[in-house]
Structure 1
Amino acid sequence: MASIRTARTARTVAALAALPLATALLTGVAHADNGALAGNGSSAAATSLVGSGVGHNNNGNSTTTQQVANGPGASNQNNNASVIGHGLTHIDQTNATVNFTNLW
């Protein structure tokens, strides 16, 4: 009976001693990189519009917008397209550059 108790105690002590090691091995640090680039003190963000349905067959009204800009010095580009009804539609989404300066 004493040897069984000693064996149980030894197993319990071994299991408790292994807990810090198991915790250290199973603990990790998550790191994600969105691939966005920024410079001159700007911060960067990446966004995506997945599953909107725009670009395939749209029966009815369809509008989608995607826009992101964050941090000082960030630039912003926004392209919207809305179609009412169905049929072939040509939408020209060329971009224009607008620069804001101080007036005084």
Structure 2
Amino acid sequence: MTIKPLGERVVIQKIEKENVTASGIVLPDTAKEESNVATVIAVSEELKNSEDIHCDVVEGDKVIYSKYAGSEVEMDGESVIVLKYQDLLAKLN
């Protein structure tokens, strides 16, 4: 199934943090902190074609997003987040 965001929205998928520290200590799931780094899955057509808003992200980009932004949904057994373009904070190179 494909997903097409509407309005000024993007769809992202979280990138899970590693569960091993740099020193080799394995962290249990209860000790892990939520990551706010994600990969862009889809960008709305309105953002791509807008003359008013300069959209800096495309599918495949890695981004940092606001921690409590968007709505998390299940799609094909995978969890994705649909959020407003303004809730993206930075693009990672």
Fold similarity call, TM over 0.5: no
Higher relative contact order (CA 8 A, sep 6+): 2
Q: Which has the higher strand share?
A: 2
Q: Which has the higher helix share?
A: 1
| TM-score of the superposed pair, with normalisation by structure 2 | 0.22
User: Which of the pair has more CA radius of gyration?
Assistant: 1
